[in-house]
């Protein structure tokens, strides 16, 4: 195996080890020895007590086509009993010409990404009230089918509010204009009636594409960056009624779940201990450097319910860790170029390496989570 191939294989190992939180010391190849693979010494933490089970059961865990099984406990996700640490990249299909979807997905796959994270922007599908459009670059069904063909699992981020640097956070303009008539992003019956209509259309497009159907969609995130658990459970009920069938519904791991303030006739209720929503965390590429242009140790918030950490939009941080572990980089000159590349394109590992001059040092590099 050539040196490039050796480094590529090592990088995959390092990505896995970093996600486990282990300490990795990488020694450079011996001088004068041609073709010798780099060696990694891995020190894993001492075995802890067995992980606690989840406080709720997963659903639809068996893929009817491959018979592969997804499971989880309070420590990790598993595929067929083996720990699974998803590395995910984000593509917003309606922002990319449909003719470029396959190439973009294959680039992600070639770069080591195994899970596609994708927002569904309501504003792109119901720009005019009651008129739904799932054609052309809005054809989510074709996009999901391509993801499956490329061997990618999917984290569907269904909204109804997403953020994603889109106008109104994804709410259609006509809905946003009704904000004075009822409360948006809350358990308001009138708002939820519009959400239900949208989810009914979306559910029809996704029929047969869930994991248990043999499709690629494993998780379904509801809303974004809210801890209003009553609102989230109302969305879960609506989605389930319209055919959404993920292994588990999910939420962003921040903020922590909370109860809305009490109002007349609606007392504040405590957050249930068995809230059936997996919290997913992400690292942000803008937080992967400190002021000295060295990789920063980014602390992740922890949920009081589960300790699972995944990477719905964290290709950048993983790549930064891989690149810094396999050699020293001259960060100061290329920092903005690196961030731009990783933010907007899930490029292949080799392409990313070519954009950054490498300076292999003699000292080992230590990588911590």
pLDDT band at 82 (very low <50, low <70, confident <90, very high): very high
- pLDDT, greater one: 26 or 260: 260
Q: Which residues of 111-136 are buried (b: 16+ CB within 10 A; e: fewer)?
A: bbbbbbbbbbbbbbbbeeeeebeeee
pLDDT band at 266 (very low <50, low <70, confident <90, very high): confident
SS3 label, residue 154? strand
- Does residue 219 surpass a pLDDT of 80? yes
Of 89-98, 264-273, 356-365, least confident by mean pLDDT is 356-365
Q: Give the mean pLDDT of 19-40.
A: 45
CA 104 to CA 100: how far, in whole Å? 6
- Does residue 15 surpass a pLDDT of 60? no
The per-residue pLDDT for 46 is 67
Q: Give the mean pLDDT of 288-308.
A: 37
Question: What's the token pair of residue 107?
Answer: 């680039």
The per-residue pLDDT for 170 is 97
DSSP assignments along 81-121, one per residue: TEEE---EEE--GGGS-GGGHHHHHHHHHHTT--EEEEE--
pLDDT band at 265 (very low <50, low <70, confident <90, very high): confident
Task: Give how far Cα 346 sits from Cα of 104, 114, 185, 202, 287, Å.
Answer: 7, 12, 31, 26, 18
Domain regions of the chain by residue span = 50-262+269-280
SS3 label, residue 123? helix
Q: What is the pLDDT of residues 173-204, one digit of tens each?
A: 999 999 999 999 999 999 999 999 999 999 99
Of 209-218, 266-275, 307-316, least confident by mean pLDDT is 307-316
Q: Give the mean pLDDT of 266-284.
A: 85
pLDDT band at 61 (very low <50, low <70, confident <90, very high): very high
The per-residue pLDDT for 38 is 52
Q: Give the mean pLDDT of 67-88.
A: 94
Q: How many CB atoms lie within 10 A of CB 253?
A: 25
pLDDT band at 152 (very low <50, low <70, confident <90, very high): very high
Q: Give the mean pLDDT of 68-92.
A: 93
Q: What is the pTM of this model?
A: 0.69
The per-residue pLDDT for 80 is 97
Task: Give how far Cα 191 sits from Cα of 147, 151, 196, 197, 331, Å.
Answer: 32, 37, 9, 10, 48
Fold for domain 50-262+269-280? TIM Barrel (3.20.20)
The structure tokens 């980014």 sit at: 298
Share of the chain above pLDDT 70, in %: 63
Task: Give how far Cα 98 sits from Cα of 83, 116, 202, 207, 313, Å.
Answer: 34, 16, 18, 20, 21
- pLDDT, greater one: 129 or 50: 129
The per-residue pLDDT for 322 is 35
Question: What's the token pair of residue 217?
Answer: 């969609």
Sheet hosting strand 82-84, strand order edge to edge: 70-72, 77-79, 82-84
Q: What is the pLDDT of residues 32-47, one digit of tens each?
A: 444 444 555 666 666 6
């Amino acid at each position: 195996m050539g040196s490039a191939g050796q480094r590529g294989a090592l990088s995959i190992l390092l990505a896995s080890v970093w996600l486990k939180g282990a300490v990795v010391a990488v020694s450079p190849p011996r001088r004068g020895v041609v073709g010798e693979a780099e060696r990694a010494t891995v020190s894993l933490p001492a075995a802890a007590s067995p992980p606690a089970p989840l406080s709720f059961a997963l659903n639809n865990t068996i893929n009817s086509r491959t018979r592969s099984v997804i499971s989880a406990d309070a420590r990790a996700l598993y595929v067929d009993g083996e720990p699974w640490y998803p590395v995910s990249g984000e593509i917003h299909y309606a922002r990319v010409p449909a003719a470029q979807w396959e190439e973009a997905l294959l680039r992600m796959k070639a770069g080591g990404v195994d899970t596609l994270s994708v927002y569904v922007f309501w504003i792109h599908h119901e720009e005019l009230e009651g008129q739904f459009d799932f054609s052309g670059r809005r054809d989510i069904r074709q996009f999901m089918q391509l993801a499956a063909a490329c061997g990618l699992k999917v984290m569907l981020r269904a909204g109804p509010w997403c953020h994603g640097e889109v106008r109104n956070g994804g709410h259609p303009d006509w809905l946003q204009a009704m904000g004075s008539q009822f409360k948006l992003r809350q358990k308001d019956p009138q708002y939820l009636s519009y959400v239900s209509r949208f989810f009914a259309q979306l559910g029809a497009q996704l029929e047969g594409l869930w994991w248990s159907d043999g499709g690629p969609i494993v998780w379904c995130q509801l809303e974004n960056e809210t801890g209003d658990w009553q609102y989230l459970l109302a969305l879960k009920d609506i989605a389930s009624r319209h055919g959404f069938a993920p292994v588990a519904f999910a939420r962003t791991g921040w903020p922590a779940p909370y109860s809305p303030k009490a109002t007349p006739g609606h007392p504040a209720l405590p957050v249930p201990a068995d809230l059936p929503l997996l919290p997913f965390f992400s690292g942000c590429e803008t937080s992967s450097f400190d002021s000295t242009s060295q990789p920063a140790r980014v602390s992740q918030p922890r949920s009081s319910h589960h300790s699972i950490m995944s990477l719905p939009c964290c290709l950048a941080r993983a790549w930064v860790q891989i690149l810094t572990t396999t050699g020293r980089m001259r960060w100061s000159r290329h920092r903005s170029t690196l961030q731009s590349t990783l933010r907007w394109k899930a490029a292949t590992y080799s392409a990313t390496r070519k954009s950054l001059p490498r300076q292999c040092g003699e000292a080992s590099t230590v990588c911590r989570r």
